[in-house]
Amino acid sequence: MRAIICTDYSGDLRKLIWLTENKTGISAGICEADTNPHATYHVDGTYHHKINHHGRTIEISPSKEKIPLAAITTKKLSQKLKTMLTAIPQQRAGQLNETEIVT
């Protein structure tokens, strides 16, 4: 399943945020084609934040092991999605400082 939140901006339809749930896990991101900022919680419990910057993928938050998705209740899953959306970097790659880029 994929959901996209859009807005009408001066007569133009603009995509803002996307959510995806599939067999590999749950992902949420900001609709920014060049940088693709997103956070993913994989089925096995691996969790990360990534962004593209000048053609390379940068992990904002190193992968962490959490509990597997099957062990999370619906209420906990809703809380996790909310947390993921607020944790995604709000900055564009062009505005990142070198101290903010973690390779």
DSSP string, 38-94: EEEEETTSEEEEEEEETTEEEEEEEEEE---GGGS-HHHHHHHHHHHHHHS--S-GG
Q: Tell me the percentage of the chain whose pLDDT exceeds 70.
A: 71
**Between 40 and 65, whose confidence is greater?**
40
* Residue 100 in domain: no
- What is the pLDDT confidence band of residue 73, given thresholds at 50, 70 and 90? low
* Residue 47 in domain: yes
Average pLDDT over residues 83-103: 48
* Residue 102 in domain: no
* Residue 15 in domain: yes
Average pLDDT over residues 7-11: 88
* Residue 94 in domain: no
* Residue 73 in domain: yes
* Residue 40 in domain: yes
Specify whether the CB–CB gap between 103 and 57 falls below 8 A.
Answer: no
- 30 is in which domain, residue-wise? 2-89
* Residue 46 in domain: yes
Average pLDDT over residues 30-58: 85
pLDDT (0 to 100) of residue 49: 85
Average pLDDT over residues 74-96: 59
Q: CB neighbours (10 Å) of residue 89?
A: 21
CA distance 27 to 41: 6
- What is the pLDDT confidence band of residue 98, given thresholds at 50, 70 and 90? very low
**Between 47 and 70, whose confidence is greater?**
47
Nearest to 29 by CA among 57, 51, 54: 51
What total number of domains does the chain contain? 1
**Between 37 and 86, whose confidence is greater?**
37
